[in-house]
A and B are shown apart, each in its own frame.
Chain A
Amino acid sequence: MTRDLTVGQFIPGHSLMHRLDPRTKLMLTFLFIIQVFLTKSALSLLFLLLLLWIYIVCAQVPAQKVFRAVRPIIPVIIVTALLNIFYVSGHVLWHYAFLRITDQGLFTGFTLLVRLITLIAGCSLITYTTSLNALASGLEQLLAPLKRLHFPVNELSMTLSITLRFLPTLAEELDRIIEAQKARGAQFGTGTILNRIRAFFPVILPLFMSAFRRAFELTNAIECRCYHGGEGRTKLHPLKLRRLDYAAVIFFLAAFAMTLIFNGIRQPF
C-alpha cells in the first residue's frame, strides 16, 4: 500500500513528453504556470484548453488519470469560483437579499475554474512523465549556478537523491514490520488515544533501527568508494539538451506569445 505512494505518479513510457530533458520540463512547467495566470480573455481561455489537450496527447497519459489528479482540490476550486461569482461587480443578472450575480462575476468565476483545473492538470503531467530521480537531477543542474553563492547544491542533491532512493525501501520495510507485528496480534487505530500511540512503538522502533543500520552501511559504502562531494565528479547519465528540447521551448514560447495576443484582442467581455 505504501509502495503505491512512494513511486510517485510516474508512468513509464516513451512519449514526446517522457523524452524531454527534466530541466526543460521544469522550466516549461514554470512558464506554463505563468501563462495560466496571464490568461484573461475568453479567446485565450479557449486557447489554453486546446494547449492542455495537446500536452496530454503528447504525454500519452490517459486523460482520466490527469483529471484524477485534479479531483482532490475540486471543492476548493468551486468555493473560490463561487466567491468570485458573488463578489465581482457588473451588470446584475439575478439578486436575492444581499446576494448578487453579475455578468462579470459569472465570467470571472468560470475563468477561474477553468484556469485552476488547467493549472493542476498541466502540472500533473510533469509528475506523470518524469521519474523522481530525473526530477532531482534536473533540479540539481538548474540550481548549479547557486554554487557561486556558496550554496551547497551538491550536498543538497546527494541528500535528495539518497532520500528518494530509500523512500520506497523504507516504505516496504514499514509494510513488512506492520505485517509482522499484526501477525503477533498488533491492532492499529482502536482503543484509547494512549493505546493507539502505544500500538505504534512496535512499528516505529524497528523502522528506526533499520534506517540507522542502512545509514551506517551506506556511509561505509560511500567512504569505501572515496566519495568526496561534487568537485570534479562526472555523471553516469549526463543530462543533454537535444533538438526535441529546443523545439519544445520554441513551441511553449510561441504559445505564451499567443496567449498575450489573444488577451489583447477586443472581445465582448
Chain B
Amino acid sequence: MALIELKNINYCYSLGTAFEKHALRDVSMAVDAGESVGLIGHTGSGKSTLIRHFNGLLRPNSGQVLYQGNDLWKKPNEIRSIRFQIGLVFQYPETQIFEETVGKDIAYGPRNMGLDQEEINARIRESLQCVGLDKSYLERNPFRLSGGEMRRVAIAGVLAMRPKVLILDEPAAGLDPEGRHALFDALHQYRRKSGAAVVLVSHSMEDIADFVDRVVVLDQGSVALDGPVASIFAQAEKLVSIGLDIPQSTKVLLGLKAKGYSVKTAAYTVEQAERELLCFLKEADRP
C-alpha cells in the first residue's frame, strides 16, 4: 500500500468568480514509503498547488487524498497530527523564519507537537547537524546568516518534526552552487538516517536527476508522465514539447545518436554519461 495516494484530484482557485483557475485536473499519483520522487513541470503547471494537497492545506474540489490508506478529509480534525508526519518545505522557506535565534526557530515545530524540552533539544541538535551547521549556530540570529544558511535552518525546522515524508518545493531555487551542494547533502543524509520518503519539486531536471528514483511530470495541471527516471528522460521530445529541459549530459548523448553514433542515451548524470561515452569510444577503437 502506498504511503500517500492522491486519487483523481481536481482543484480550482477562486471557484465561482471571474478569476476562476482550474489548477489541477484529475491528478492521481502515489508515494511509497522510503521512495524518492521528483515532481517536475513548467512554471504554473500546478506543482505547488499539488503538494499543498499532500498535507491537507488545500482541500480538493473532488477526489481523495489517502495517507496510509485513510482519507484525510474524512476526519479533518486529525489533519494537524498528520502534518507532523508529512513535512512540507515551501518555496523560499527562509521567509517564514521568525524567532531571534536559530535554535528557537527550529524548535517551533517540535514544540507544536507537544514534545518535552529534552526531546526538543535533542531534535534541534540532530536536525541542525543534519543540514550541516554546527552547534555554534544555535544561539545565532537567523536574520544575519547567508541565504543558503537561512534556507538550511528553515529546512532543519521541518526535519526536527522527523516527518515520514519530506516534501520540498524548489528547495534549490536562488542558491549558489555551494549552497545547492550543502542542501542536497543534507537531504541525502536525512534520507539515509530516517528512511523517509522524499518528494522533490523542481522545474529543472538537472537539479534532481541524481536524487530521485521516479519522476512525475505535470503539464497544465495534469500528469503527463510518471515513471522511473531513465524512462522519463528517454522521452526527450515529449519533455521538450512540454517546455522542460533535459540534462545536458543526456542532450549530448541524444545529439550523438541523432548523428548516427550508436550510443545508449539512458544516462542522466555526468558520471553515467562519461561511462557511456568511454564505453562507446573503446568499442569504436576496436577494429
Contacts and interface: CB of A to CB of B under 8 A. Distances in A.
Nearest to B113: A185
A125 B227 CA distance: 52
B158 A184 contact: yes
A185 B161 contact: yes
Nearest to A201: B98
Interface string A148-191: 00000000000000000000000001001101111111110000
B189 to A, nearest CB: 21
B108 A202 contact: yes
* Majority secondary structure of chain A interface residues (helix, strand, loop or mixed): helix
B84 A7 contact: no
The contact size tier of chain B is: 20 to 34
A165 B267 CA distance: 47
Given A7-B19, A206-B95, A183 B108 contact: no
B190 interface: no
A3 interface: yes
B241 interface: no
Contacts of A179: 52, 57, 90
Contacts of B80: 185, 187
Nearest to A3: B14
A4 B20 CA distance: 10
Interface of B: 14, 17-19, 52, 55, 57, 80, 83-84, 87-88, 90, 93, 95-98, 108-109, 112-113, 143, 157-158, 161
Contacts of A177: 95-96
A226 interface: no
A12 B9 CA distance: 29
A133 interface: no
15 contacts: A12-B18, A179-B52, A180-B93, A182-B57, A182-B83, A183-B87, A183-B90, A184-B83, A184-B109, A184-B157, A184-B158, A185-B80, A185-B113, A202-B96, A209-B98
B124 to A, nearest CB: 14
B88 A183 contact: yes
A11 interface: yes
Interface in A73-112: none
A220 B157 CA distance: 32
- Among A12, A173, A180, A187, max chain B CB count under 10 A is at A180
The 10 closest A-B pairs by CB, nearest first: A185-B112, A205-B98, A184-B109, A183-B88, A180-B96, A180-B90, A11-B18, A202-B98, A179-B57, A206-B98
Nearest to B160: A184
Nearest to A179: B57
A237 B4 CA distance: 51
